[in-house]
Amino acid sequence: MKKSFALLLNIGFWGCYFILIGILLALYDRSSPSASDHLARVLNAFKNLFLFAILPSILTYVFYYLLLFPKYLQQRKFLLSIVFGLLIAIGAAVLCYVLHRYLIETGRILDMDEAGKNGRSKAFSVIMVSTFIDLVAGIMALGIKGFITWLYEIRLKELLREKNYEMEMALVKSQLDPHLLFNTINNIDALILRDAVKASNYLNKLSGIMRFILYETKTDLILLHKEVEYLEKYIALQKIRTANENYVHFSVTGVMGNKLIAPMVFIPFIENAFKHTHNKKIENAITINIYVHDESIQLVCANKYDPAASVREPDSGLGNELIRKRLELLYKGKHSLHVDKTNELYTINLTIPNG
């Protein structure tokens, strides 16, 4: 949501508000019985309107717009929103009434007239009218701020859908490209004569990967254990390309339970680890650890690589800029991503909140 649009809405409201003030002053001017003290009467009326209708409304509007909506109403603290909303409106009305008495009328704060009780009654009536005007301005502030926030969230969801789509397409292209498919199918084909059961198992894993990518990644959140199952299938298919049983170490620590995660958050980093690990004969060439905590989920993925053999740096793999943007959209201000790169080891440490 562009700031200029929000500014335009606020300017539009206050423009209409001041036009209404101008109309009231014009009506008051027409009702003036004498022209001798015309200017003085109009100035005095404007001062009264300024202290009873304009200044307290501005104060209420600003507090509602900048404080009440984001801190309470948007957080669904409705009772506190009502309480603080009333306090803000009444406080602004009382403050401006005090200023009116001090600056315009008698020069003494809250100096009541001789009638005493009538003076207090008048003060109470004026404050209540001013409070009502403040509440109207405050409600308008909440409406405008809510509308702007609603449009912003719609735009944010559109951006997220775009990034998710780009990510899915990039991952589908990368993981289901002919080279990977042909290699996997050829490896499975070679297994058929030696171990048909094992070949069938790998074929089911490949089918599961395709089904997961095409059908199960359309929601905003999925169960963590489904994401882990997908990773296990992906790793298993990668491992059939080498006879080294200890090529990859993969572990999950903690209870997954019903914890939720955005789909395909971890796979880009794991895919890059496989892409940039050239020696498949060394022990634990790739280490993947997932730690499940009460409030967060952590991925630590490390791969050994040969800088001389790498055409590209490990951090220039599949859409890393796209990956970072997606993480920022999904977990803005709530995730951490640290990259540690040495001459032979590339490690990423990603922590995201549960859900």
Write the DSSP string, 49-104.
HIIIIIHHHHHHHHHIIIIIIIIIITTT-HHHHHHHHHHHHHHHHHHHHHHHIIII
Q: What does the radius of gyration of the chain's CA atoms come to, in whole angstroms?
A: 33
Under 8 Å between Cβ of 144 and 9: yes
Residues with Cβ within 8 Å of 136's Cβ and at least 6 positions away in sequence, in order, are: 57
CA 205 to the chain's CA centroid: 35
The CB-based long-range contact list for 335-343 (8 Å cut-off, 24+ gap) reads 339/315, 341/313, 341/314, 341/315, 343/307
Q: Which parts of the chain fold into alpha helices (H)? A: 3-30, 38-49, 55-63, 78-100, 117-175, 178-194, 196-215, 224-239, 267-275, 320-330
pLDDT truncated to tens, each residue of the chain (355 aa)? 567 888 888 888 888 888 888 887 777 666 555 555 666 666 777 777 787 888 888 999 999 998 998 888 888 888 988 999 899 988 988 888 888 777 665 544 444 444 455 556 777 777 888 888 889 888 998 889 988 888 888 888 888 777 776 766 565 555 555 555 677 777 777 778 777 887 788 788 878 777 777 777 777 788 999 889 889 888 888 887 777 888 899 999 999 888 999 888 898 888 888 888 877 788 888 999 999 998 999 999 999 887 766 544 444 444 567 778 778 878 877 899 998 888 788 999 999 998 7
Longest dimension (CA), the chain: 113
Look up the pTM and report it: 0.52
Q: Considering the chain, tell me which residue range(s) the CATH 3.30.565.10 domain(s) occupy.
A: 216-353
d(CA 133, CA 24): 14
Tell me how many degrees the CA angle 119-110-98 measures, rounded to the nearest 5. Answer: 120
3 state DSSP class of 219:
coil
Domain at 216-353, CATH from 3.40.50.460, 3.30.565.10, 3.10.150.10, 1.10.10.920: 3.30.565.10
* One-letter identity of residue 282: I
300 within 8 A of 258, measured Cβ to Cβ? no
Distance in angstroms (rounded) separating the CA atoms of residues 247 and 176: 22
Do strands 286-292 and 260-261 pair parallel, antiparallel, or not at all (unpaired)?
Answer: unpaired
The predicted structure's pLDDT at residue 250: 93
